[in-house]
Structure 1
Amino acid sequence: MTSPSIPNRGRPARLDRAKTVGTALELLDELGLEALTMRRLADRLGVQAGALYRHFTTKQDLLTAMAERMLGDVQVSPGAADWAERLRALARAMRRALLAHRDGARVFGGTHSVGPHTLAFAESVLGVLREAGFKDEDAARTLMAMVNFTLGHTLEEQAATAPLENGTPEDPDRLRSAVLAGSYPHLAATLPVLTSTDFDAHFEFALDVHIEGLRHLRPRAA
């Protein structure tokens, strides 16, 4: 009788797709996207690299599954808030989900998951807009604009705060020095905001701009 703590010799470890994705996210958080390779993931799982391709044909397939898992963490409390507040809540929830993982936005960018978490998020956004009276065409384009804006903002946010090879974040003094060394009066006047790392404030301002634009678009739907 074989001890349950000792695997049978010659028997390959059994791979579980969900566990593989979870382990990939753990490696992502530890090492970053550049260091996340199929071989390193296989080593962590205790299998041969070729075994991973039974579940994921390419690394891009793995990244798509990881992006899908990230959106599974999007949680928005139900409530009777108006459409604008519900839309804000969904955008904030997506940003939080991407920020929850190192290089989360880079992983998500370029993936086109049709998994249940991705579809549920899109369904929620479209539901808010259609119930508010927006045309189907405008609702669909608003979904794409909101996802692209949130992804782009988070991508820049994570790039600005990611440690460099020497272990320190990108120095905002580089921009300050370049601006002050030349004749850029408008840039110089706005440097305090341009070099600010208050990404919450940056995100909320841009989100307000989106919402106000939608308010002007909405009467067309009526």
Structure 2
Amino acid sequence: MSSPSIPSRGRPPRLDRAKTVETALELLDDLGLDALTMRRLADRLGVQAGALYRHFTTKQDLLTAMAERMLGDLYVASPGTDDWAGHLRALARAMRRALLAHRDGARVFGGTHSVGPHTLAFAEAVLRVLREAGFTDEDAARALMTLVNFTLGHTLEEQAAAKPRADGAPDDADRLRSAVLAGPYPYLAAAVPVLTSTDFDAHFEFALDVHVEGLRRLRCGAE
């Protein structure tokens, strides 16, 4: 009969920053942002909670590192042309994919202000496309902020809509449909099929078209 194993009393496992962030993203995918705590992360890593604070002063610091890591998976295929609009669309789509790749990814990204290499490389890529297309520094900077904010806001709504509701609770689409059809809102009633649609690809592409075409008009007006 074999003797029971005895837990090792050696040194606790060495905490690696990169591995901690990867584990935090795994925990995020398993439990969601609301359940992601420093204590749960420490338990998953097999360390004391206090050990995490050697790398992350606050949970917000951890979330910023997670947001930075999410953009590390961002891949943009070059359209192979000098079409600035095509490049810009590809960058926006890539950011959306990176956020959608993780449960509550947009919520994690929102409110963080990473200055890490992945975040800066993404911003640099957008600005390079716009500056080489002839936009001024000021217009390019504002277009970058608009692109990021629009993509983030859209993905926040997309991921929120995908969350399961409590048993028996009407979802947001049903609540909106009922409220509109019960009142004197003929234009809203006509728009309800689109407003309640879960075709988020179509919603995103429409808004992206509006953004790009607005920039195109701005560019033409400056010439």
TM-score (normalizing by structure 1) = 0.93
Q: Distance in 2 between matches of 1:159 and 1:38?
A: 23
- The answer as to 2:35 corresponding to 1:35 is yes
- The answer as to 2:137 corresponding to 1:132 is no
Equivalenced residue count is: 217
C-alpha distance 154-11 of structure 1, shift in aligned 2 (>3 A): same
C-alpha distance 130-207 of structure 1, shift in aligned 2 (>3 A): same
Provide runs of 4+ in structure 1 moved above 2 Å.
164-171, 219-222
- Offset at residue 44 of structure 1 (A): 0.3
- Deviations 1:175-198 (Å, cap 9, x if unpaired)? 111111111111101111001000
Letter in 2 for 1:57: T
In the TM superposition, what are the counterparts of 1:155-166 in structure 2 within 5 Å?
A: 155-166=156-167
Q: Distance in 2 between matches of 1:63 and 1:81?
A: 36
Letter in 2 for 1:31: L
Q: Distance in 2 between matches of 1:40 and 1:14?
A: 17
Alignment match, 1:50? 50
Q: Distance in 2 between matches of 1:210 and 1:94?
A: 15
- Offset at residue 165 of structure 1 (A): 3.9
Alignment match, 2:123? 122
Q: Distance in 2 between matches of 1:167 and 1:53?
A: 42
Q: Distance in 1 between matches of 2:62 and 2:46?
A: 17
Letter in 1 for 2:205: E
Moved more, 25-34 or 172-181: 172-181
Alignment match, 2:112? 111
Alignment match, 1:145? 146
Letter in 2 for 1:36: L
- Offset at residue 13 of structure 1 (A): 1.4
C-alpha distance 12-165 of structure 1, shift in aligned 2 (>3 A): farther
- Deviations 1:26-71 (Å, cap 9, x if unpaired)? 0100100000000000000000000000000000000000000000
- Offset at residue 219 of structure 1 (A): 2.7
1:160/1:169 contact within 8 Å kept: no
1:13/1:47 contact within 8 Å kept: yes
Unaligned runs of at least 5 residues, structure 1: 1-5
Q: Distance in 1 between matches of 2:14 and 2:144?
A: 39
1:163/1:169 contact within 8 Å kept: no
1:162/1:170 contact within 8 Å kept: no
Unaligned runs of at least 5 residues, structure 2: 1-5
Q: Distance in 1 between matches of 2:176 and 2:185?
A: 12
- The answer as to 2:213 corresponding to 1:217 is no
> % of aligned pairs identical?
83
Letter in 2 for 1:99: L
Alignment match, 1:192? 193
Alignment match, 1:83? 84
Q: Distance in 2 between matches of 1:81 and 1:170?
A: 44
RMSD between aligned residues: 1.7
C-alpha distance 90-167 of structure 1, shift in aligned 2 (>3 A): farther
